Chains A and B, each alone.
Chain A
Amino acid sequence: MGLLVAQLLAGLANAAALFLVASGLSLIFGVTRIVNFAHGSLYMLGAYCGYTALQYLTGPLGFWAAALAAAVAVGLFGLLVECLILRRLYKAPELFQLVATFGVVLVVQDLTLMLWGAEDLLGPRAPGLDRAVMLFGQPVPEYDLALIAVAPLVLLGLWLLMTKTRAGILIRAATQDREMVGALGINQSLLFSGVFFLGAALAGLGGALQLPKGGADLTLDLGILAPAFVVVVIGGMGSIGGAFVAAVLISVVNVFGVLYLPESTLVLMYVVMAVVLLVRPHGLFGRAELQAGPPAAGIPDRPLAPLGPRWRTAALALIGLLAVLPLIGSDFALVLATDIVVLALFAASLHFMLSLGGLISFGHAALFGGGAYAAALAVTYAETPMELALLLAPLAGGWLAFAIGWFCLRLTGVYFAMLTLAFAQLLWSLAFQWTEVTGGDDGLIGIWPAAWASDGTVYYYLTIVLGGGAILMLRHLAHSPFGYALRAARDSEKRARVSGIRVDRVRLAAMVVSGTMAGLAGGLFVFSKGSVFPSALEIARSFDALIMVFLGGVDALGGPLVGAAALTLLQDWLSRLESWRLLLGLAVIAIVLLAPTGIAGFAGRLLRRREAS
């Protein structure tokens, strides 16, 4: 009994920070329709700012003042991000907004590293609340009790703000009907900035209040992101009350998970999410109409055309160059080229569903890593030959895509994006925590190619043939009746339905194709590196795919190739510099703001303009 109560209280205390982050995320989404992927970064900044503030503010009052100061500082930082970047993107396609916020994630990571250093900071105890009280014979930290009180207080404050003040009523009105509020002559940009400040401050407060329990380190940002998404999805987009209930639910399930199923704690919350979504597809308190409208990924209005003679020559020249590269290039060039082809296939597989299908996946790493782990597991436990493993990898990717698609395709737009990310995190958790099978953080090693392909040059050719062939297949599919049906469903879902296209099945099939190709990329990746680690499934890997698609240009079929080359070379070049994340982040943000059609799209436009004149 005592133990149960103690666990329950610990769960409730953990819910506080999660609720603060998720409510801010939900609030910002409700009003601006932007899913702020940098929200975890704001949480991390809150922790670091709070730590610094505590160097100057002491005593019980000082602690709470420091937390508030951190919240205000992070709120101001959020305001800065809103004014400088996001304000220009409210009318842009979702993908651009999401990529820009991820650019902010990268920038904040490096800024934090520069300002506070790489070492984990130990959180100070909260003065006056540093003891434990005995409840039912179990010690319960006083600070936990304080946190348990904080979350409902913030909820109450938000409720008062939303129902009793003019600003709050405007926020609610904007959440329900953004255009109406605009039509009423309300200063929208002030409202949006205000909401961003509030949402960021809530995340900052969450980070600062978490200090005595967890301290501050550089993994806080992406660490909280997936749980916060899960909470928002379970609670229902835009619902603050829902965020509270879901945060409590997840945290309590989590502490009991630690008690009874210690190997599955990370997986448990995704299971809860899946169950909730099966029963209520829009979350506990979500409404269908709050879903973002049709998926929009920068819809290309230009019809697809076969390659012109000039591009055909360029493509043949590229293939020729790849064929003779082992003769003219260094070993390093071969490694780099192998990486580029693998990544290009990974990017092309995402491009297929994202650009042609309008399905923005934020968890594409699930399919890449899924294929990689399938091959590695088969080799490790069944001594499967490489040839068979390279067949298993795409099969696994396809099956995973089928399962994920079956769950996620009932939702559209950003909801779909968040759900795919959650599923990718589920797989990452499995790979990370199921140590007996996956090796956990140590990964699976010694996955080398068959003897005939063990030479670097031979494996390079194998990669070119399989990876390049798969990319050409995807390209062919785009021009096939199936590709047209997929595009029709994206252009106008209702027209497609009444024209006899099975929209849901077409989309699911596209996901399976995409997953198969991503899985193959994963398989090729494993044998080229000789190992696989959970990093093949992590959020950053999914973002790599998005950034490649984005760098190359969403509406250019050749985009993924250009994007993969750009990202690989950029990372190779930037990683020699100390703060490459900062530079990459700034580059991504600059491209979103200045050249939103991507490199290939930009070049294509220049060419067309020259041809026209």
Chain B
Amino acid sequence: MNAVLEVRGLSKAFGGVHAVEDLGFDLRAGERLALIGPNGAGKSTSFQMLMGELRPDAGTACFEGVDLVGMEPREIWALGVGRTFQITSVFASMTVAENVQTALQARNGQSFDPFRRARALHRDEAISLLERVGMAEQADRPASVLAYGDVKRLEFAIALAGEPRLLLMDEPTAGMAPRERHALMDLVSGIVAERGISVLFTEHDMDVVFGHADRIMVLDRGRLIADGTPDAVRADAKVRSVYLGSGAETGHA
């Protein structure tokens, strides 16, 4: 399979501390790839560099052959990269449908259109997207009154409106109850599979990671220490020592 995202030698240091060192990996088409690691391992830094929020000291990150390094978030979007945030953010002063419609009008280059009525524009397409994420009944509710899990699904629908071929999801289930987490990730898995979207995500919840990733990469102190299928990573001694501490490793032996 072809690589959708090719990352090579991505590095970032903050005042002498190497937050991420020489990160390199391929993300294949249609793959759901999880990036995990203990706190301070460099997950967020890696993500911010891929999202255009932080400029790496060195390295490249090519999406379909185009290097994302140094690009603005909007330019990365224009290439076909969608995003969701750890702290969910939607357009609070609009209805659920209008949130998606606003993203659709941006995709169609109509953000400066002063003539049409926005309420009717792309309404049908928005509703069908909302149907797909199970939010159609709430289409005309204000986004500001939604339950947290629904805000997450709305944000996902907004990201889908940009027709991404790659989704970057920063802790997609942060702040949700355990059962809701799996419901959301089932939804995500189903939709990305039918649309052929590749996904790179970070996550704290190991159940979510091992249940929904095709492949897992483990970061520790800025370096990649493991990269493989969930089973291989689960069995990896280095990963176990990082997550369980060195005491557990000796106890195990």
Which of A473-498 touch B at CB < 8 Å? Answer: 476-477, 479-485, 487-488, 490-492, 494-498
When distances are taken between beta carbons in the complex, the residues of chain B under 8 Å from A500 are: 74, 77-78, 103, 106-107, 111, 162
> Which of B26-34, B116-124, B188-196 is the interface stretch?
B116-124
Are A498 and B83 closer than 8 Å at their CB atoms? yes
> Does A299 interact with chain B (Cβ within 8 Å)?
yes
Contact between chains at A300 and B93 (CB < 8 Å): yes
A498 to B75, CA, bound (A): 8
Partner of A480 from the list B82, B90, B118, B162 (CB cut-off 8 Å) is B118
The answer to whether B93 touches A299, judged by C-beta atoms less than 8 angstroms apart, is yes
CB-defined contacts of A299 to chain B, threshold 8 Å? 92-93
A134 to chain B, nearest CB (A): 55
- Using CB atoms, name the residue of chain A closest to B101: A484
Which of chain A's residues have a CB closer than 8 A to the CB of B162? 499-500
Collect the chain A residues with CB atoms within 8 Å of residue B101's CB: 484
B14 at the interface (CB under 8 A from A): no
How many chain A residues sit at the interface, stated as a range, is 20 to 34
Is B93's CB under 8 angstroms from A301's CB? yes
**Nearest CB of chain B from residue A507's CB, rounded to whole Å:** 12
B residues less than 8 Å from A502 (CB atoms) = 74, 111
CA distance A308 to B157 in the complex (A): 30
In the complex, the answer to whether A494 meets B89 with C-beta atoms within 8 Å is: yes
Q: Is the interface of A mostly helix, strand, loop or mixed?
A: helix
| Smallest CB gap from A555: residue in B | B93
Which A residue's beta carbon lies closest to that of B112?
A482
Interface residues of B in 85-125 (CB under 8 A from A): 85, 89-95, 98, 101-103, 105-107, 110-119, 121
Other-chain contact of A303, B73, B77, B83, B93 (Cβ < 8 Å): B93
Partner of A484, one of B74, B77, B98, B155: B98
For residue B246, CB closer than 8 A to chain A, the reply is: no
Mask: chain B, 135-165; 1 = CB below 8 Å from A; 0 = not:
0000000101000000000010011011000
**Contact for A488 among B85, B91, B116, B144, CB less than 8 A:** B91
Bound Cα distance A503, B116 (Å): 20
Q: Which of A476, A497, A503 has the most CB of B within 10 A?
A: A497
Minimum CB distance partner of A486 in chain B:
B111
Please name all residues of chain B whose beta carbon is closer than 8 Å to the beta carbon of A491 when the two chains form the complex. 90-94
Task: For A499, give its contact among B92, B93, B106 (CB under 8 Å).
Answer: B106
Provide 25 A-B residue pairs closer than 8 Å at the C-beta atoms, listed in order of the A residue. A301-B142, A301-B144, A303-B93, A306-B119, A476-B114, A479-B119, A480-B118, A481-B105, A481-B113, A481-B114, A484-B94, A484-B101, A485-B102, A485-B112, A487-B91, A487-B93, A491-B94, A492-B89, A492-B90, A495-B91, A495-B158, A498-B76, A499-B159, A506-B111, A509-B112
Q: Identify the 10 closest CB pairs spanning chains A and B, nearest first.
A: A500-B106, A485-B111, A301-B144, A491-B91, A481-B113, A492-B89, A484-B118, A499-B103, A495-B89, A481-B105
Seen from chain A, the residues whose Cβ lies within 8 Å of a Cβ on chain B are: 299-304, 306, 476-477, 479-485, 487-488, 490-492, 494-503, 505-506, 509
Give 10 new A-B contacts, CB below 8 A, not counting A484-B94, A485-B102, A502-B74: A481-B102, A481-B114, A481-B116, A481-B118, A484-B98, A485-B105, A495-B90, A500-B107, A501-B102, A502-B111
